[in-house]
């Protein structure tokens, strides 16, 4: 049989197919697109998307002659919480805060995280300032209850600044800048407050900026000096120590009050180099007085929270003592209650290291801060400085007198010395003597004075007391 071949054909009778799963690629692309416009932690619109949303709201408001409000919110005490309890707790707190914020606004409004602890809310169709103020109150009320995060009951609040379109600005940059300025005024008013922008704030903001610039220059140009206020023993009248107080002798503004520049120094971090200079200069001057034959007494230096939390604090203190050739027993560091309580474990370690080299520690403005007294035992402080508000009305207010007496008795039971700050007259001094307070400081004793004047004051007092 002949063999037959199949007829030739051009049609394929088989196919090979390849498949590529692009699900992960698409998901990654969508994720990248989302992150380009949203905060990765909270999922809120970021600054880029906020700008777009605000510009849309402004365009609509221009067409309809409407109003838009921009609220700048700063979470009070967040840095303290984050530093003390760690970033995981801080992140959970931020998410919980966002949930409360979202319950306060309409779906048409925009909440944006600007980074860190700052948020912005854009209110579309803001009817009037009263309505905006009511929303700010609502936010602050929602924040009143503590947040329970990892078994920590955390209390925080918002400082809120508000700018309005068209009153305060016409675009994103001007409105955010002015709301930010108003927020700082709210924070300086005591936190947990809201403020509407005013033009006076702008003037103050410019002055603040100029003062910060001059403050930086002042550090470079050595425009700071120290004045010293004596502390005397109530029983003997002898000078037991002096408090070193920094003064800024500005060529532009004359003698600038500490109340004007210390808050700016703390806000900008300039308090660290300034505080380092104060510490070194105070040690140098104490050594100079001793070498000049004056009786030995302690010099007290205030430490800010920023200084106390630095890892190089002990090294800075030791270097200051060594360079000045001053024994550590003549240096006293003053800390507020809030500084001691902040991140208690780390603070305790710093305090122990300072005590180990012989430096003395005192609690400044005692009685105005934390109600818990357990830290007095934990931190082994040497002295309590009773706050001025209790001393001011000591003679006329029985409650203040009772508080001062109780503080002194408690301090003595713990083997601590007491100093009354802000003593203005002899009658107050006599009451403090009756309360068995150890030392006093204030204008009745002497005003703060330059080093040379302090030396003369000490010598004159020696003559008066017959101790030369």
Q: Give pLDDT tens digits for 152-189.
A: 888 889 999 999 999 999 999 999 999 999 998 898 87
* Assigned domain for 265 exists: yes
**317 and 455, same domain (yes or no):** yes
Kindly state the percentage of the chain with pLDDT values over 90: 62
Residue 342: its pLDDT value, please? 64
Does residue 85 or residue 40 have the better pLDDT?
40
**Using the 8-state DSSP alphabet, how is residue 449 labeled?**
B
Residue 137, pLDDT score: 93
For residue 82, name the pLDDT band (cuts at 50, 70, 90): confident
**Do 73 and 178 belong together in one domain?**
yes
The more confident residue out of 382 and 79 is 382
Q: Which domain holds residue 221?
A: 207-465
What confidence category does residue 9 fall into, taking pLDDT thresholds of 50, 70 and 90? low
Burial of 50 (0-12, 13-18, 19+ CB in 10 A): buried
Token readout for 385 is 């400085």
Mean pLDDT of 231-243: 95
pLDDT for 16 = 60
Return the CA Rg of the chain.
31
Q: What average pLDDT does this structure show over 279-300?
A: 97
Dist CA 101 CA 182 (whole Å)? 20
Residues 173 and 234 in one domain: no
Total domain count, the chain:
2
Report the mean per-residue pLDDT for the chain: 88
Say if 105 falls within a structural domain: yes
Asked whether residue 443 carries a pLDDT value surpassing 90, the answer given is: yes
Nearest residue to 244 via CA among 205, 300, 189, 298: 300
Considering the domain architecture, whether residues 150 and 240 belong to the same structural domain is answered as no
pLDDT at 326 over 90: yes
In terms of domains, do 220 and 142 share one? Answer: no
Q: Is the peptide bond before 229 cis (omega within 30 degrees of 0)?
A: no
Check which CATH number belongs to the domain holding 288 and give it: 3.20.20.450
Averaged pLDDT, 120-128: 90
Q: Does some domain include residue 135?
A: yes
Judge whether 17 lies within some domain: no
Which among 144, 174, 197 is the end of a domain?
Answer: 197
Let me know whether 87 and 119 are in one domain: yes
Neighbours of 390 (CB within 10 A): 23
Residues 114 and 247 in one domain: no
Whether residue 468 is predicted with pLDDT greater than 70 in this model: the reply is: no
Mean pLDDT along residues 403-423? 94
pLDDT value of residue 163: 95
Q: Are strands 110-115 and 118-123 parallel, antiparallel or unpaired?
A: antiparallel
Nearest by Cα to 216 from 273, 279, 258? 273
Please say if the pLDDT value at position 115 is more than 80. yes
- Report DSSP state, residue 45: B
Residue 19 lies in a domain: no
Q: Taking residues 85-112, what's their average pLDDT?
A: 92
At residue 199, the pLDDT reads: 83
User: What is the three-class DSSP state of 393?
Assistant: coil
- The residue to which tokens 């004047």 are assigned: 453
Between CA 92 and CA 104 the distance in angstroms is 19
Coil/strand/helix, residue 108: coil
Instruction: Report the distance separating Cα 157 and Cα 375, nearest Å.
Output: 26
| Predicted pLDDT at 1 | 47
Nearest 5 degrees, angle CA 64-CA 65-CA 71? 105
């Amino acid at each position: 049989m002949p063999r037959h071949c199949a007829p030739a054909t051009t049609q394929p009778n088989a196919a090979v197919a390849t498949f590529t799963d692009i699900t992960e690629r698409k998901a990654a692309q969508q994720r990248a697109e989302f992150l380009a416009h949203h905060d990765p932690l909270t999922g809120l619109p970021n600054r880029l998307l906020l700008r777009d949303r605000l510009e849309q709201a402004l365009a609509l408001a221009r067409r309809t002659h409407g109003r838009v409000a921009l609220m700048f919110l700063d979470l009070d005490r967040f840095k303290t919480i984050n530093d003390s309890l760690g970033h995981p707790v801080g992140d959970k707190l931020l998410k919980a805060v966002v949930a409360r914020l979202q319950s306060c606004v309409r779906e048409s409004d925009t909440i944006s995280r600007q980074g860190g602890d700052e948020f912005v809310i854009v209110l579309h169709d803001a009817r009037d300032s009263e309505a905006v103020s009511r929303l700010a109150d609502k936010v602050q009320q929602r924040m009143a209850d503590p947040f329970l995060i990892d078994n920590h009951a955390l209390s925080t609040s918002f400082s809120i600044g508000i700018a309005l379109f068209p009153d305060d600005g016409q675009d994103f940059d001007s409105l955010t800048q002015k709301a930010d300025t108003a927020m700082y005024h709210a924070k300086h008013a005591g936190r947990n407050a809201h403020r509407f922008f005013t033009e006076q704030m702008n003037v103050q903001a410019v002055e603040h900026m100029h003062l910060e610039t001059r403050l930086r220059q002042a550090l470079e140009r050595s425009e700071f000096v120290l004045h010293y206020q004596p502390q005397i023993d109530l029983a003997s009248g002898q000078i037991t120590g002096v408090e070193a107080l920094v003064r800024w002798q500005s060529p532009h503004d004359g003698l600038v009050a500490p109340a004007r520049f210390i808050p700016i120094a703390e806000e900008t971090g300039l308090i660290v180099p300034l505080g380092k200079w104060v510490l070194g200069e105070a040690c140098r001057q104490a050594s100079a007085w001793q070498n000049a034959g004056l009786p030995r007494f302690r010099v007290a230096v205030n430490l800010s929270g920023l200084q106390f939390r630095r890892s190089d604090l002990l090294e800075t203190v030791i270097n200051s003592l060594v360079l000045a050739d001053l024994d550590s027993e003549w240096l006293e560091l003053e800390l507020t209650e809030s500084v001691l309580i902040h991140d208690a474990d780390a603070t305790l370690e710093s305090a122990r290291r300072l005590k180990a080299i012989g430096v003395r520690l005192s609690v400044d403005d005692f009685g105005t801060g934390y109600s818990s007294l357990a830290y007095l035992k934990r931190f082994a402080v040497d002295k309590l400085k009773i706050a001025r508000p209790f001393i001011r009305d000591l003679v006329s207010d029985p409650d203040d007198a009772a508080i001062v007496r109780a503080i002194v008795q408690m301090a003595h039971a713990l083997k601590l010395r007491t100093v009354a700050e802000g003593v203005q007259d002899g009658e107050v001094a006599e009451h403090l003597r009756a309360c068995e307070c150890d030392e006093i400081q204030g204008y009745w004793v002497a005003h703060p004075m330059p080093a040379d004047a302090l030396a003369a004051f000490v010598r004159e007092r020696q003559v008066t007391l017959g101790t030369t």
